[in-house]
């Protein structure tokens, strides 16, 4: 990385992922996006160099270790990125006086409440990934100029670093000749990356601080999401609903991790998030528009 300085109002980490790429497309010249190998948030030197180079007023951290099951056996790597990386970013923001925005997850909750979680509910993560994100939140909360956005069930059009998402993975599996089995008793909020990017921009514009839950309106099971995706896409492959207990996953997951977005909805000036069904249609329309066929 060169020593030349380029002022940008917003620095977006993890720009190769679904949310980071959507945010960079939306903010355009207002922001610079960085990802591996140019920026490794787990390296304090790499973070310091990036912040010194671009001198941002705002840092939005969309970079994260998100392999929930692998995290159970890669705990050190997960913490190095999700906790150590956040420590590095917060330290750099503190030195610069920049605002810090952290993207977090519904997996900070254990799902045992049985009703949507608001920002005041106490986190109790069930897995290594969730614990790392909750620990990161606590670090961020100690920095005065912060914004924490919890979201859930993210899907969108990622950049080169994106590992895909549930919606696109379901469509890739269609027509391959094997049964499609999807969990019907794990209930979540769902979020289109394009809508979340608009929500982040609106929160930045109004000076939002503290913790906000942001997701598309409504909620459902992953089976309901899959059937809606196939319905909209015109896919006729059958989907079998199955209980969570039939999946041998390394990481325990919350059964009901719906986010109560009332605080965000009631905040004047915030982008109005459409329903998750509308978000699915928007995502599939953009996916089709990019198809070479």
pLDDT in tens, 231-263: 999 998 999 999 988 888 899 999 999 999 999
Q: What is the average pLDDT across 103-120?
A: 97
pLDDT at residue 276 above 50? yes
pLDDT at residue 3 above 50? no
pLDDT in tens, 209-221: 999 999 999 999 9
Q: What was the pLDDT predicted at 265?
A: 97
Structural tokens at position 179: 């049964």
pLDDT at residue 291 above 90? no
pLDDT at residue 1 above 50? no
Q: What is the average pLDDT across 110-131?
A: 97
pLDDT at residue 6 above 50? no
Q: What was the pLDDT predicted at 2?
A: 43
pLDDT at residue 288 above 90? no
CB neighbour burial string for 168-191, b if at least 16 within 10 angstroms, e if fewer: bebbeeeeeeeebebbbebbbbbb
% of the chain exceeding 70 in pLDDT: 93
Mean pLDDT of the residues in the chain: 92
pLDDT at residue 5 above 70? no
Q: Catalytic residue at 271?
A: no
pLDDT at residue 293 above 70? no
pLDDT in tens, 147-204: 999 999 999 886 554 567 889 889 888 888 778 999 999 999 999 999 999 999 999 9
pLDDT at residue 63 above 70? yes
Q: What was the pLDDT predicted at 163?
A: 61
* Active-site residue, from 65, 117, 129, 264: 129
Between 6 and 52, the more confident residue is 52
């Amino acid at each position: 990385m060169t020593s030349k300085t380029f002022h940008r109002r917003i620095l977006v980490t993890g720009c190769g992922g679904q949310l980071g790429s959507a945010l960079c497309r939306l903010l355009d010249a207002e922001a610079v996006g960085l990802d591996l190998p140019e920026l490794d948030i787990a390296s304090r030197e790499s973070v310091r160099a990036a912040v010194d180079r671009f001198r941002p007023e705002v840092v939005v951290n969309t970079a994260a270790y998100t392999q929930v099951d692998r995290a159970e056996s890669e705990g050190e790597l997960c913490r190095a990125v999700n906790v150590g990386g956040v420590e590095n970013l917060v330290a750099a923001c503190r030195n610069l006086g920049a605002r810090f925005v952290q993207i977090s997850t519904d997996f900070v909750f254990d799902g045992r409440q049985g009703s949507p979680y608001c920002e005041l509910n106490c986190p109790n993560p069930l897995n290594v990934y969730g614990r790392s994100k909750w620990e990161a939140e606590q670090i961020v909360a100690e920095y005065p100029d912060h914004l924490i956005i919890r979201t859930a069930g993210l899907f969108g059009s990622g950049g080169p670093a994106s590992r895909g998402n549930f919606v696109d993975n379901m469509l890739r599996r269609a027509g391959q000749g094997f049964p499609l089995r999807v969990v019907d008793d794990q209930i979540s909020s769902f979020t289109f990356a394009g809508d979340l990017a608009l929500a982040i921009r609106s929160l930045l514009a109004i000076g939002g601080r503290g913790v906000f839950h942001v997701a598309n309106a409504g909620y459902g099971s992953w089976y309901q999401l899959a059937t809606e995706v196939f319905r909209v896409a015109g896919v006729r492959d059958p989907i079998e609903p199955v209980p969570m207990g039939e999946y041998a996953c390394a990481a325990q997951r919350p059964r009901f991790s719906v986010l109560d977005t009332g605080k965000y909805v009631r905040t004047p000036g915030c982008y109005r998030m459409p329903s998750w069904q509308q978000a699915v249609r928007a995502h599939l329309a953009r996916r089709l528009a990019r198809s070479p066929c």
